[in-house]
Structure 1
Amino acid sequence: MKRRSLLLAALAAPLAVAGATFAPPAPAQAATWTSSDRWGSWNNGGYTLYNNVWGGGYGPQTIWANSYNNWGVWANHPNTGGIKSYPNVSYNLGRDVWNMGNVNSTANVTVPSGSGLAYNTAYDVWGNGHDHEIMIWTQWTSNVGPIGSYVSTVTLGGRRWRYYKGHNGGNHVYSFLAESQSTNMWVDITAHSQWLVSQNHMPRVRIDQIQFGWEITSSSGGRDFRVNSYSLNR
């Protein structure tokens, strides 16, 4: 599925890669499924894995998975502005926000570091199809930021989040950025969703897709992103 949100990024000058050819490193052990198709997808255990290279100016990207809770991508996107991809694991909940139950998630990820990187690790929760987008950022590089304007800081699920509200031209976007970033996380998705309604930031919607992955703007030279474990309790 094509992602429609935008990312604001102030990036350094592109790296000189003219004439260079990059290929994903050979895995130490063959994964159950791999795809270099920009729209590649795989169903496993009621979840769908998406390669989802949806933005312009993208480079090569390969997704691999052993299961919905153990997967990753190798991405080599140029050091230019604009989101190139949102590789993710997705589950369709399809419940009214006030009757969605106690939906929460845990994840442990390994992310790259160094120069030539711009990305965020984020949940993407959709309401009423793709009319309302709740983004929950747990970790990101310093050169990216959310859509819209800062509204307030709120405690949800025992953590402090900076809340931003905006619109990307296609849908409303509600972003929560963790005050303390982490690659080992627990997120109360119900608390975020219901808080938005209770504070009149978002109408009462049906919570549909719940996705988790990386919005990648730049990963010059080829970088690995890995989900070591993931659960969606619902």
Structure 2
Amino acid sequence: MPKFLAILGCLTSLMLMLGSTVAQAATWSVTSPSTSSCHEHTLFARWSYEGYTLNNDVWGPCSVPPVAVGPQSFWANSSFDWSVTSDQPDTNGIKSYPHVEYFVNKPVGSLRKLTATISATTPSAGAWESTLDIWADAKQHEIMVWLNYTGTSNGCGNVKPISYNWTAEGCAIPLYSNVSLSGSTWNVYVGTNGKNAVYSFLRTAKTNQTTIDVLEIMNYLKSLNYFDDVVVGEIQYGFEITSSVGGLSFGSKNFAVTAE
């Protein structure tokens, strides 16, 4: 019996060690430093997991003009469980967009269902938006779906959507207001970032948990003749951070894209 117990104990220890190894192997992390150089290799550190890709995406130093950024730490147990702590200065310009992405690569007309499910945690301070970023037609069209954000749905505040039209007070003007899509209402802004068209849907009732009918949004823009049967490329979800002084934390759970 003692010999049996000893063998059992060894097997138990081995199983625990293997379990620990598996858990560690499934965990990825990266920290990018304060920098104004686009050549820092950790800025765009990536990790792939079960068909999804996570990206640190600290793109401020690579923008035109470059924007100096603070440190950012990204941790992921999987594409369904990740978080970021970012310490960005209270200066003009977007610093980063830590995100998860899924590559669809299908024309809008071939899809009968295209949804994205989001469950997030966000801070009460800072300047940021929790947003989907949907790319179509080889990145000629960018559709942003703001779910939670520190600005206002009427285009004012400390974060604002890209827009062709602005008020004298510096607020973006929606081209379409209170549009009913995907079970909510949205103010829709249209503009360009100098490289591609940008369509921003700002949810009038902010949320951290929802399922977005991406296909309905794409068909809405298609009905307005902004594009025809474009190919949907990447669907990204993350946190576009302008400032997060002192280090603010954001998290994503159970993000999933369904494309059928």
Q: TM-score range by the shorter chain?
A: 0.7 to 0.9
Tell me if structure 2 keeps the 8 A contact 1:77–1:220: yes
Q: Deviations over 1:104-163 (max 9, x none)?
A: 11111111113xx11000000001121110000000002111001411131111211111
Matching of residue 147 in structure 1 with residue 162 in structure 2? yes
For structure 2, the 5+ residue unaligned runs are 1-22, 32-41, 61-66, 152-157, 166-173
RMSD: 1.5
CA distance in 2, matches of 1:127, 1:101: 17
Alignment correspondent of 2:182: 157
Q: Partner of 1:166 in structure 2?
A: 191
Q: State the SS of the aligned residue for 1:145.
A: coil
* Equivalent position amino acid for 2:56 in 1: N
Tell me how far apart the structure 1 counterparts of residues 27 and 218 of structure 2 sit (CA, whole Å): 34
Q: Does 1:47 align with 2:22?
A: no
Alpha-carbon offset, residue 164 of structure 1: 0.6
The match for 1:230 is 255
Report Cα offsets for 1:6-39 as digits up to 9, x if no partner.
xxxxxxxxxxxxxxxxxxxxxxx97811012211
2:91 corresponds to which of 69, 80, 105: 80
Name the counterpart of 1:131: 140
Could you tell me how far 1:184 is from its partner in structure 2?
Answer: 1.1
Report the AA paired with residue 131 of structure 2.
A
Q: Spell out the pairing of 1:53-202 with structure 2 (5 A cutoff).
A: 53-55=58-60, 56-114=67-125, 117-142=126-151, 143-148=158-163, 149=165, 150-153=174-177, 154-202=179-227
- Stretches of structure 1 lacking an aligned partner (at least 5 in a row): 1-28
| Matching residue's letter, 2:95 | K
Aligned-residue offset at 1:210? 0.4
Normalising to structure 2: TM-score of the pair? Answer: 0.76
Q: Alignment partner of 1:57: what SS?
A: coil
Cα distance in 2 for partners of 1:46, 1:229 equals 14
Three-state SS of the structure 2 residue aligned to 1:79 is coil
**In proportion to residue count, which structure has more strand?**
1
Count of matched residue positions in the alignment of Structure 1 and Structure 2: 204
Opposite residue 85 of structure 1, the aligned amino acid is S
CA distance in 1, matches of 2:135, 2:96: 17
| 93-102 vs 117-126, which moves further | 93-102
Return the index of the structure with the highest Cα Rg.
Answer: 2
Compare the two structures and name the one with the higher helix fraction: 2
Identity of matched residues, %: 39
Aligned residue for 2:255, secondary structure, equals strand
The 8 Å contact of residues 100 and 207 in structure 1, kept in 2 or not, is answered as no
Amino acid at match of 2:195: G
C-alpha separation between the residues in 2 aligned to 1:167 and 1:219?
26
Report the equivalent of 1:206: 231
Q: Give the whole-Å Cα distance in 2 for the aligned partners of 1:168 and 1:86.
A: 16
The answer to whether the aligner puts 1:35 opposite 2:35 as a matched pair is: no
**Separation in 1 of the partners of 2:187 and 2:227?**
16
Answer yes or no: is the 8 Å Cα contact 1:63–1:71 preserved in 2. Answer: yes
Aligned-residue offset at 1:203:
3.6
TM-score by length of 1: 0.84
Residues in 2 aligned to 1:228 and 1:47: alpha-carbon distance in whole angstroms = 13
Greater than 4 Å deviation, 4+ residue runs:
none
